[in-house]
Each structure stands twice: as C-alpha cells, then as structure tokens.
C-alpha cells in the first residue's frame, strides 16, 4: 500500500509528534469509527496524546467498541473537541476525502497548521492533505488501516482490541461481506485479525443483534407499508418522513441497513432509501452488479461514493424527491436491464 519513501516519512512524522488527532466523518459508520479507534490505539503506543474527534453522535450499536473513551463528539463537546485539535502536530483523516464531510469540525481542521494524512477508500479525493492514501477499489478503510499499522509500526502493535475495531470496520462496510469484498486480500486480512483472538460471532451479535423493539417495528413498517417495487427497472425504494420516524421513536442508526432490504426480492438490482431530515432529504443508494450508483448520486443528488454504494442529498420535499427519483429511472432502464 505504501512506498518505502512514504513509510519513512510517516515514521518520522509520528516520531516527531507530541499530539495527534484522528478525524472521522459526520454520521459515523462502523468503518469510520472502527478504523479511527484502531489507529488511535496503535498510535497511543507511540505518542503521548492521541484524540479521536467525531462530528456528531454514534449509533448505539457502536458505543461498545474498545477505545471509545478516546473519542470526543463535537456537537456535544465543542470546546473539548477544539482543545483536542489545538496544538496538534499531525492529523489523520479517515474514511472521508472531502472536508465537507466533517460539518462543524471542518473549521477546526482549516484553522490547524498540523500535517495531514488521509486514509480513505472513496473516489475522487480532494487535495487537502500532505499525504493522501486513496484506494477506491477497497471495500473498507479498515483494511487500509490494518496494512498501514503493519507497514508503519509492524504488526507487533496490534492487540485484540485493535483487531476487534478493524473487524467491525471491515464487516460493516461490506455488509457482512455481501458486497465490496470480492477479492482475496480482504479475507487474508480478516484471517490475520482472527489470529489476535477476536470473537467474530460475538462482534456480529453486538452490531446486528442489538436493536430496540421500536427499530424492529419500524423495519416491519417499511417492508409492509413503505416498500415500492418497480420491476420494470429492477428497482425498489423506501421513503420515510420525519413524522413516521418519530412515530417509531427513531434513534440514530435505526435505519442502518434498510437500503439493503429490497435485495431479498428476486430481480432487484438497484435500491434506494430516502430519509426526511430537518433541512434536506438524505438519499442512500445500493446496487448489485455493474450499475454505478455513484454516478447517479453525483448527477442528481449532490453526492457520490462507490459503484455499488453511494449517497447524497435532495433539498426538495420528500414527496418531490421521490417523484423526481421515479422520473429519472427511465434514463437508466437500459443499464439496469443489462446487469
């Protein structure tokens, strides 16, 4: 992953640093927080002070992760987050490639004169770091952080806690290895993580078997009342209003994975999820095969991502967003039928 020159430069930067910060993107998922905590725990063995800064809140199913105590959530503790970045010698930007993904933390990053290193697997990285490590073919940033730790520090620094966080990162960003993982390297890494004594069954249970009754009823409501199937386009979508979310006592992370529900239907190749927020509609897209949802997200939803997983925003009403979505599908009919 890294050249000899890059490894030497990174070792020097870490050795010279007294204080390091790691930034994860807003609406952090398992890859963002798992990768950040894993790198943070590895760096704590090398550097005096290491902080992980998260722009906004974590879903409950990730709060158990080892190392979580080193994280600060900006929207709850803005002054503490600012202090964590103040005087930093080195900043790692993990699982994002555009400062716009940081929300309020972006201004803190802009004000810092620390060196910056990006480790990310999304396409089209912005130029805001001294060193950019970008591998869009990867299924997760967690894989990259594992190789980064092994190459820069050696695998000796990896502990069971670090391996647990990395496994969560990889598992969640590949949908438990159901997409974005059709290459040998990811399973080689997972096999090596198993050598550190992680309990993959317990990890799976703590992430995927930890939902509330309200969340499960919301999922049932989506399947019974909100799932729209458009077989002529091999497409299905779900839309949820703010009122519907409140009815089911929605908490952060409750809709995680809902965008994948339609793929259980034979013939569905493209799935979308639209969630009404206070000032926008959040759109999530997934596909099977070669249909590039990242291109659709960029063209119509101010977004982007990977070929099979992308997202964006609409600033129209939920109803108009759904109408517009249905109106653009005929333009993609040929691509969807060729999968």
Regarding whether 38 and 92 lie in a shared domain, the answer is yes
The boundaries of the domain holding residue 231 are 214-338
Domain closes at, from 176, 208, 240: 208
Residue showing tokens 């803190």: 108
Regarding whether 270 and 171 lie in a shared domain, the answer is no
Does residue 213 surpass a pLDDT of 70? Answer: yes
Helix residue ranges per DSSP H, 174-292: 184-194, 200-208, 213-221, 242-247
Q: Give residue-wise pLDDT tens across range 69-118.
A: 999 999 999 999 999 999 999 999 999 999 999 999 999 999 999 999 99
Domain closes at, from 208, 235, 251: 208
Domain closes at, from 208, 232, 250: 208
Residue showing tokens 């990259």: 144
Q: Which of 52, 63, 127 is nearest to 91 (CA)?
A: 52
Does residue 339 surpass a pLDDT of 80? Answer: no
Regarding whether 51 and 14 lie in a shared domain, the answer is yes
Strand partners, 22: 52, 92
**Tally of domains within the chain:** 2
pLDDT value of residue 1: 79
Query: Sorting pLDDT into bands at 50, 70 and 90, what band is 306?
Result: confident
């Amino acid at each position: 992953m890294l050249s000899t020159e890059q490894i030497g430069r990174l070792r020097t930067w870490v050795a010279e640093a007294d204080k390091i910060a790691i930034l994860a993107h807003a609406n952090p998922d398992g890859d963002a927080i798992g990768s950040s905590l894993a790198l943070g725990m590895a760096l704590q063995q090398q550097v005096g002070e290491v902080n992980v800064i998260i722009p906004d809140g974590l879903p409950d199913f990730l709060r158990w992760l080892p190392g979580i105590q080193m994280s600060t959530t900006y929207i709850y503790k803005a002054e503490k987050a600012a202090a964590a970045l103040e005087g930093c010698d080195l900043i790692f930007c993990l699982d994002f490639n555009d400062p716009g993904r940081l929300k309020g933390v972006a201004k803190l990053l802009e004000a810092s004169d620390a060196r910056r290193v990006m480790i990310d697997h999304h396409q089209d990285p912005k130029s805001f770091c001294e060193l950019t490590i970008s591998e869009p073919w990867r299924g997760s940033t967690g894989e990259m952080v594992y190789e980064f730790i092994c190459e820069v520090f050696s695998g000796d620094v990896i502990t069971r806690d670090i391996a647990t966080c990395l496994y969560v990162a990889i598992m969640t960003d590949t949908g438990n290895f159901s997409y974005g993982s059709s290459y040998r390297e990811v399973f080689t890494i997972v096999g090596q993580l198993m050598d550190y004594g992680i309990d993959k069954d317990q990890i799976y249970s703590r992430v995927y078997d930890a939902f509330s009754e309200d969340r499960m009823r919301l999922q049932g409501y989506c399947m019974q009342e909100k799932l729209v199937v458009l077989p002529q386009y091999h497409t299905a979508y779900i839309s949820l209003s703010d009122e519907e979310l409140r009815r089911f006592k929605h908490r952060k992370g409750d809709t995680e994975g809902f965008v994948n529900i339609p793929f259980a239907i034979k013939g569905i190749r493209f799935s979308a999820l639209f969630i009404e927020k206070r000032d926008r509609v959040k759109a999530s897209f997934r596909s099977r095969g070669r249909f590039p949802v990242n291109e659709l997200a960029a063209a119509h939803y101010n977004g982007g991502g990977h070929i099979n997983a992308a997202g964006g925003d609409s600033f129209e009403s939920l109803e108009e967003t759904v109408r517009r979505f249905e109106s653009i599908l005929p333009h993609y009919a040929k691509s969807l039928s060729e999968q």
